[in-house]
Amino acid sequence: MGAQWTNKEVVHLLGRAGFGTTKEEIATCLSLGREETVRRLVSGKKVLDQAPDLAPFDQFHSDGKKALDPLQLVDQQIYWLHRMVNSPTPLIEKMTLFWHGHFATANYKVKDASLMAKQNDLFRTYALGNFKELLTEIGKDPAMMIWLDVNQNKKGKPNENYAREVMELFTLGIGHYTETDVKESARALTGWSYNKNEHKVNYNAKQHDNDAKTLLGESGKLDADDVIDILFHQKALPMFLAVKLLHYFATDTPSDSWVQSLAALITQKQTVGEVLQELFLSDEFYAENHRMALIKTPADYVAGILKSCKLSVAKGHAQAMRKMGQELFVPPDVAGWRGGASWLTTNCLLARYQFAEGIAKQMNGQQLNAPEIKPDQGDSSLAWAKIYAERIGVTDLSEQTQRSLSAYADDTIVHNAQVKQKLTGLRGLLQLVLISPEAQMK
């Protein structure tokens, strides 16, 4: 492990393994060192020893409300965004979002915000745990069962929806199974149902097809547990998960050798947390070409800004994420959000710019004049640009961005004696930093 451990490496790690940084977190991680910082992240231990615990859902207040309603989707969205911003264990929240995209389930079909929240808690429980155990549990999750029509999968009349997606999207990927495998898997998965009235998941042996089946070359009177065992016998599974983890945490274009080495770890290790520990300790993860190389998701963008600016979560922030293309609990379809450049379409970018403008207006004079964002060289317009960028986790600015921000700061801050006009300048500088190309990347 020859990589340095400076502000840049800390910001890179926390931007990928969480939702942005604060000055306090950066200082603590620098003091802890890379190994201990990573150990805390992957073990679910607080990064900051003195970080307060999160208020539970029924004790959280937003927008002046007395309490949130667990049956209202927007309230569940607000609370999850609050967790992203304030969780003392950021990697757990980041992996909860990963699993939400991986096992994409949307409330527009489930139509029960409490079931979506229950599934979310399942992802949080297994966030850094054993993937096989999570796959077993998701097949019996009420929201997933409604989403992929598990109730319609009965002996003699199998429904193939879950059987297909468990191979195509959850474990193996296209090309590693046949249509016959889908049919046989569906038969093996029969017998399970969810009773909405009783709020119970049931197994009815009479509805299970107990005849012989052949799935991916293995035969027998297969059931749901056998399906999962067989899937984990496939070489394609660790490769599939390795690619998804590398796309999520490291790069859009991982090398074949990196995929293979991470797939080997997935096979060897018991938990996803152990795999990520090796990833986050590797020098390759911190390579210069992998920094500022991923486009921030709306969750990254919104939660990161709220965290760095130390602002409370409000209903409008969750709605802003929807306009940016990522509505929590409502991925577009079973394949989840496409990510990458899809986050930066014209409409999505406009939503980001509008959000940045709103954040800048929300900041008061005390916040904008805080000592930590006042450069030592108050007469240096570049120093103003850099310190505001660092405030939101941007450690490198292109020369073009530096020139633009410096010119603005020079006119509105450095050479402006009017207090009110200078405050307007500070707001403007923050807004320009938030909409800069660099602020869209992590």
Q: What average pLDDT does range 310-334 have in this prediction? A: 97
The pLDDT of residue 442: 97
The pTM for the full model equals 0.97
Tens of pLDDT along 103-162?
999 999 999 999 999 999 999 999 999 999 999 999 999 999 999 999 999 999 999 999
**23 CB-near residues (< 8 Å, 6+ apart):** 372
Tens of pLDDT along 350-378?
999 999 999 999 999 999 999 999 999 99
User: b vs e for 354-365, b when ≥16 Cβ sit within 10 Å of the residue's Cβ?
Assistant: ebbbebbeebee
Tens of pLDDT along 373-389?
999 999 999 999 999 99
Cβ atoms of 91 and 41 closer than 8 Å: yes
Tens of pLDDT along 279-306?
999 999 999 999 999 999 999 999 999 9
The pLDDT of residue 285: 98
Distances (CA, A) of 350 to 115, 151, 163, 398: 32, 42, 39, 22
| Residue 129: Cβ within 10 Å count | 15
Domain ranges of the chain: 372-442
